[in-house]
Structure 1
Amino acid sequence: MVRAAVLSAVNAPLEITEISLPDPGPGQVGVRLAAAGVCHSDLSLSRGVLRQPVPAVLGHEGAGTVTAVGEGVTAVAPGDRVVLNWAPSCGTCHFCAKLGEPWLCLHANAATTVPYARGADGTELYPGLSTAAFAEETVVPERAVLPLPDGIPLTDAALLGCAVLTGYGAVHHCARVAPGESVAVFGVGGIGLAVLQSARIAGAERIVAVDVSEDKAELAAAAGATDFVLSSETTAKEIRALTGGWGADVAVECVGRSSTIRAAWSSTRRGGRVAVVGIGGKEDMVSFSALEVFHFARTLSGCVYGNCDPARDLPVVAAHVREGRLDLGALVTERVGLDGIADAFDAMRAGRGGRTLVVF
């Protein structure tokens, strides 16, 4: 038996309880978690914004040590340090094999719909986003673990599994920020902080952070922001003023609301690029006039998992960490035990802090 945070139903509070894990079966890997980041996607899953069979153990941003492997597993062995991959590509579907876009894999979350453990009363439990990282241990498919490169602290490595790969990819793969460009980042949470650091790594000249909380200004500056704008109805106008009247070359939206997507769009120059990382509700509609779409010639792109191939990008990001260009610890504003997840969810709802890291 291991301790885990269980979501019994949509919108129910998480319950810290004991669950029973099976030994890894063929093609599966057992992992003892060192840490798990609390991501806004976990909040979306608990609210039903993202589909997730319940009851479930949430958590998808994690790192730990392999405890056991099932028959046929060759990628890792007991004792290996690994990062969980919440969207493992199958390598064979249309998006993976034909288009080379593994972040859109049709089967990335196949394990989400298959029970993987049982509660103390025998109830079948589902793994949140295939990984179930809000537990002392988990069992995942082999392709859902990535060997952790040397030189990265195992606890902080949890952040690589979602926030850092997503933020880094949004800048380098989706928006393709070039040296000397200006970037506006909407939302200074865990992913937003990773975007700010990644924009600095990309050589952006002006980096404007936007948030509803003025308390985020110091965090943003430490991550690389040159300017901070408090979110309001005049946000786009303020960003244009900071960029010579033209607007930012790139805007990255990390909130997932129609109002911030619209503001990000309006804050960019003619021909600018907007990457939407935040996950919004299907009823929250964004509006553009037909004329402005033509006139401004901007590009608006959804960004899934930073358009990353985790197996390719994890070693690149790890090198930035080892060489001091990317500071994982700067993303974390609180470290808690498993019992602190509920408070971390409250902080996300209120827009407080950066990433909360659950340390086991």
Structure 2
Amino acid sequence: MKAVILEKIDGDVVVGEVELTDLTFGQVLVKVIVSGICGSQLQEIAGNKNNANFVPHLLGHEGCGIVESIGPGVTKVKVGDKVVMHWRKGDGVEADFPSYLYNGKIMKSGKITTLSEYTIASENRITPVPADTPDDLASLLGCGLSTALGTINEEANVKFGESVMIVGAGGLGVNLIKAARLASAFPIIVLDVHENKKEVCESMGADLFINTQNSDTKEEIIKKFGIKDVDVIIETSGNKQAIEETLPLLSGVGRFILVGQPKPGETVGIINAHHLFGGEGKTIKATQGGKFSPSRDIPKYIKLHKAGVLNIDGIITHRMKLDQINEAIGLIRKGQAGRILIEM
């Protein structure tokens, strides 16, 4: 099968031929239909996910596929089921790390990888969905959309009319705009350094887009809305400067949610830390996937989509093939894409 392989840190990834091995207890073979690309893959390529000692390995952690075969002990899915593939643990067996053959050698990989024609997944990293579930929706529910919905609903606990600032308008950022709009947040303010993101963000439901390269954020929100701070700030970039500059903008009931991860070993400072004690006391929280619980949440989100409450229009900005993976990664790095789907 064809697969994307990370052979060396900080290099281009490779599309190569990989052989499958026999399934062991709790493993499921899935034929991949479509996979998303997450910012976490860029972190892996840079070696920032504690993965530098484990190359070569496969990549990807969100997608949609069809079950081809099941290993011993698997009871949650059957052959022919459509599934969401996700990195967060759901119900089912926690299987061992799968083995593949690459260049004649055994290659271990993660318990879910999706940037390949087939994947060996741990049972608890896939969730069956109705056959008529759109492939795009299923893929987005593997990480980007589900993380956004969970962050807004579970971590930030956004109330009607609360203000939300989203720092970074990449694949996760555009999903967060949708989630914040669904929660009736107002205003929804998006910060980014790429002016080309403005149109997409506004079409998603952002009330204000600020290019922080040439505008002062506080001045802009005072001018537009007459407010000098915001209730919820969700930081998706992991950028040290972005974190330090936006933290002072929290309101007296403010919640600062870190979704993007700073580089390993990096120190982030709090400017004028006294402001954290204003109002009712402000909170800073790091989240893992917005507390997304696949077995609990995926059925709910699919129902919302069928009812027309949750739509995914505009989130996906590019569709590409597996052989175009380095081009796709380049678009993300340059800030020229929202969510990119890789179609098998």
TM-score by shorter chain over 0.5:
yes
Q: TM-score, normalised by structure 2?
A: 0.92
Q: Give the match's secondary structure for 2:31.
A: strand
The residue that corresponds to 1:238 in the other structure is 220
Higher helix share: 1
> Offset of 1:115 from its aligned partner?
4.9
Paired letter, 2:274: L
Shift of 1:358: 0.2
Q: Which residue of structure 2 lines up, in the alignment, with residue 255 of structure 1?
A: 237
For the residue of structure 1 that corresponds to 2:190, the secondary structure is strand
For 2:222 and 2:298, the matched residues in 1 are separated by 34
Q: Could you give the per-residue CA deviations for residues 197-250 of structure 1, whole angstroms, max 9, x where no partner exists?
A: 011111112111111111111111121111111124722442344442241111
Structure 1 regions of 5+ residues with no counterpart?
A: 93-107
Structure 1 residue runs of 4 or more that deviate by more than 4 Å after TM superposition: 89-92
2:275 to 272, 292, 299: 292
- 1:320 touches 1:326 (CA, 8 Å); kept in 2? yes
Q: Look up the match of 2:64.
A: 63
State the distance in 1 between where 2:264 and 2:221 align: 28
Q: Match of 1:81, as an amino acid?
A: K
Equivalent residues of 1:21, 1:116 under 8 A apart = yes
Match in the other structure for 1:215: 196
CA deviations on 1:159-212 (whole Å, 9 max, x unpaired) are 110101111111000001111111111111111111110111111121111111
Superposition map of 1:146-185 within 5 A:
146-149=127-130, 151-185=132-166
Instruction: Give 1:267's match in structure 2, choosing from 249, 262, 283.
Output: 249
Match of 2:299 among 296, 315, 318: 315
Give runs of aligned pairs for residues 23-62 of structure 1, distance below 5 A.
Answer: 23-52=22-51, 53-62=54-63
Match status 1:350 vs 2:322? no
Whether contact under 8 Å (1:236, 1:263) holds in the other structure is no
- For residues 19 and 208 of structure 1, do their structure 2 counterparts lie closer, same or farther at Cα, with a shift above 3 Å needed? same
Shift of 1:11: 1.6
Residues 187, 255 of structure 1: 8 Å contact kept: yes
CA contact (8 A) 2:240 2:262 kept: yes
* Native 8 Å contact 1:240 1:267 kept in 2: no
Aligned positions, number: 339
Match of 2:265 among 256, 260, 283: 283
d(CA) in 1 for partners of 2:265, 2:158: 31
TM-score, structure 1 normalization? 0.89
Gaps of 5+ in 2: none
Which amino acid is 1:66 matched to? V
- Whether 1:117 aligns to 2:100 is yes
Deviations 1:266-301 (A, max 9, x none): 222122111111122023322114423334632111
Two-structure CA RMSD over aligned residues (Å): 2.0
